[in-house]
Structure 1
Amino acid sequence: MAPGAAIIERRFIATARARIHIAAAGAGRPLLLLHQTPRSWDEFREVLPRLGTRYRAIAMDTVGFGDSDALPFAENSIEAWSACAFDLLDALDLREVAVLGHHTGAAIAIEMAASRPERIAAMVLSASPYVDAERRMQKAGKPVVDEATRTADGSHLLSLWRMRQPDYPDGDIDLLERFVIDALKAGRLAAEGHHVVNRYVMEQRLPLVACPTRIIAPTADPHAFPVARKVAGAIAGASLVEIAGGMVPFPNQMPEELASAALAFLERHYPP
């Protein structure tokens, strides 16, 4: 743990649609953290204590991931996951928050800011996808990463590992093991979460975002970096910062860089 970092606390919160697991650190104004598919709060394990030095940083497991309860399978959507995040805020009696989302978490954050602008004071989007009609058409019915059929000999574990290995730092066994643990806990949602993102009508929601927004673009993320300027250009007043060498597991890979970029923005637009 970094010197002076806040201690992480974990608990379950009963909400209107699901019991949601959270990990939180620090005190002060609330900052909600949203992870990518098929991860969990563990994606922010190293970031939480750093953000907790200035805010009450709360990392939730998206419904169906980590230790949070799942929705009925057919009900999974970015809109539903956003609504469940608001359920959590209601249960915690938090009327206004800042939000930080990575990959899928960024899509959820966008929907939160578009659907309930009075509740979202500022937003940080890390490695956000950009989903428009062209992407929906290209991805419809196609296989996605993390789609591995379970087998009695366990070879699907190696398939998951090998699918993700190119997007992770060379030789970093620890981060890949943490990914596999979360992917196994997510079950069918490990792959379905990507289909959920690919179905999201994001291009209609981005112009509705009214809060101050910072786009963080990890340059070695081949999925998000090429579209970072499209995301920034679709949100009025959004700013963009590139982080050299950041990959798909950016929050775990470079927690100090993510925390520093987020805090530099939030301290101006959502003062502690």
Structure 2
Amino acid sequence: MRITRHYLTLAGRRVHYRMCGEGPPVLLIHQSPRSSDEYRQVMTQWGERFTCIAPDSPGFGQSDPLPIDRPTTEDFADAILAFAQAVGFHGIAAYGFHSGGIFLMNALKRHPERFVALAVGGYPCFHPHELDDVGEAYLRPFHPQPYGEHLLWAWNRMLEQSWYFPWYKPEQARRMSAPHADPMVLHPQVMDLLASGDAYRHGYRAALSAGYDVPPADADVPPALLSSYSSDPMTAHMARFPALPTGWSTAEQPDPAAHYSANADWLAQYPAPGFAPVQDNDRGFLSVRTNAFDGLIHWRGQGDVLHLPGPGRSLDLLPEGVLAIDLPGHGLSDPWPGDPPLDWADWQAVIDAATRALGAREVTSEPLLPGEPELLFPDLSPDRYGNHLVNGWALLRAGHAFAPRYAITRDTMTPMAEGAMDVDCLAREHLALMRSSAARALHQARLSTR
């Protein structure tokens, strides 16, 4: 089941969302500091029964933050309602996990007429003394640092949140029941954090400072299911809930798979009306199919000339407004289905398809970096200790002072451009590099055409 991706502009703020499946629409709201990427597997499963729509919350994933210095729970809830209206919901059936569920709960409490049904995973009911654990200490400022120090913090912060709650109190009494150190699980979580930057704190703060928004027992509200699974620290909170409204219930599942299955079964009882989604026309995702590739290609801009970023880079590094795409295995485009091809013909077929679809008449590419492909683009696969992130950062720093960037000698010194080591610029380059699973192959394929 294919997931499509879209952009929509609301009051000048760009919103990115994923969509998948057929049937009654269900809105999926992710937790912090994730993005709609969190729901990819859920969407392919639920897509057999629902049309799943999963936006990136403001400031997360590819969505712009709210233009507010310190947004509240109500601000995030209102953003959900505005998005739902814009994409055509006439009655909202929704699922949200942790902070996603908190925002949805606030929206339902204030605007019950907008909802058909609500399912929430891991809704909290903190005791007053527990609120100190999830205050500002939980929300460490997050800014790029010159030598990549922020990357080690990000990796270990996301790693140890499965070891302790809260993550910053490594104590025996705070141990979690299902710790892990799987780099393949951690890497997309950390990449979402890097994409949000310091804006990650806004969504967290709004959710963690929210009051208990479950409506009172006598409220006239749509039905809801509040559930969780055994290893979630919020599971214990369900026993704290006061009396719930009519049609509301709680449930505990043994694991995440059972949790999502049970929530899908429950939501299927309350189908929402159909809708007709809309999207922006100045950027998006092309569905491209060639002999070697079948997936989504990220594009942006307008014009007759299609610009191609270099290996290991993305269109976000090009000037705003120019027509550009991310090639497969780069930026936000899908990866190649297998090993990236070394035959330029396979890459050219994708470029030709995108050129036709976007109406371009000419194609131009960024120049290749000097050096050997295997050294310019070493293996940056996720590492248990997060070393791949730091290695990528160090490689980029060197590239602004030496060429080739892996050869550090007097003879390889190059003039440094003003602002070359600006940490925000490096952070954007780093995101592009870490998203590039096919950089070495692209470099080799382009060399073969010379």
Could you say which TM-score interval applies, normalised by the shorter chain? Answer: 0.7 to 0.9
Measured in 1, the distance between the counterparts of 2:260 and 2:270 equals 15
Contact 1:33 1:101 in 2 (8 A): yes
Equivalent pairs counted in the alignment come to 255
Counterpart residue number, 1:220: 231
Structure with more relative contact order (C-alpha pairs < 8 Å, separation 6 or more): 1
> Is structure 2 residue 25 aligned with structure 1 residue 34?
no
Q: CA deviation at 1:142?
A: 3.6
Measured in 2, the distance between the counterparts of 1:37 and 1:44 equals 13
Counterpart residue number, 1:157: 151
Matches within 5 A, 1:108-257: 108-130=103-125, 136=131, 138=132, 142-144=136-138, 147-148=141-142, 150-168=144-162, 169-203=179-213, 205-207=214-216, 210-222=221-233, 224-231=234-241, 233-244=243-254, 246=255, 254=256, 256-257=257-258
SS of the residue corresponding to residue 69 of structure 2 reads: helix
Counterpart residue number, 1:249: none
Q: CA deviation at 1:149?
A: 5.4
Residue by residue over 1:73-120, the C-alpha shift from the partner in whole angstroms, topping out at 9 and shown as x without a partner, is 425221111111111111112110201000100001101211211111
Runs of 5+ in structure 2 lacking a partner?
A: 163-178, 274-450
Measured in 2, the distance between the counterparts of 1:62 and 1:82 equals 10
Counterpart residue number, 1:3: none
Runs of 5+ in structure 1 lacking a partner?
A: 1-5, 247-253
Q: TM-score, normalised by structure 1?
A: 0.84
Measured in 1, the distance between the counterparts of 2:141 and 2:230 equals 25
Measured in 1, the distance between the counterparts of 2:139 and 2:186 equals 14
Measured in 1, the distance between the counterparts of 2:69 and 2:220 equals 27
What amino acid is aligned across from residue 31 of structure 1 in structure 2?
V
Counterpart residue number, 1:61: 56
> Higher mean Cα deviation, 17-26 or 138-147?
138-147
Counterpart residue number, 1:269: 270
Residue by residue over 1:39-85, the C-alpha shift from the partner in whole angstroms, topping out at 9 and shown as x without a partner, is 00011010011111111110110011111111124252211111111
- What is the alpha-carbon root mean square deviation over aligned residues? 2.5
Contact 1:130 1:202 in 2 (8 A): yes
Residue by residue over 1:206-244, the C-alpha shift from the partner in whole angstroms, topping out at 9 and shown as x without a partner, is 32571211122121122x122123347445442222122
Measured in 1, the distance between the counterparts of 2:208 and 2:21 equals 34
SS of the residue corresponding to residue 68 of structure 1 reads: coil
Matches within 5 A, 1:70-109: 70-109=65-104
Measured in 2, the distance between the counterparts of 1:232 and 1:22 equals 35
What amino acid is aligned across from residue 124 of structure 2 in structure 1?
P
Matches within 5 A, 1:17-28: 18-28=13-23
Contact 2:74 2:103 in 1 (8 A): yes
Q: Which has the larger radius of gyration?
A: 2
Q: TM-score, normalised by structure 2?
A: 0.52
Identity, in percent, stands at 26
Measured in 2, the distance between the counterparts of 1:233 and 1:172 equals 39
SS of the residue corresponding to residue 27 of structure 2 reads: strand
Contact 2:228 2:259 in 1 (8 A): no
Measured in 2, the distance between the counterparts of 1:162 and 1:233 equals 39
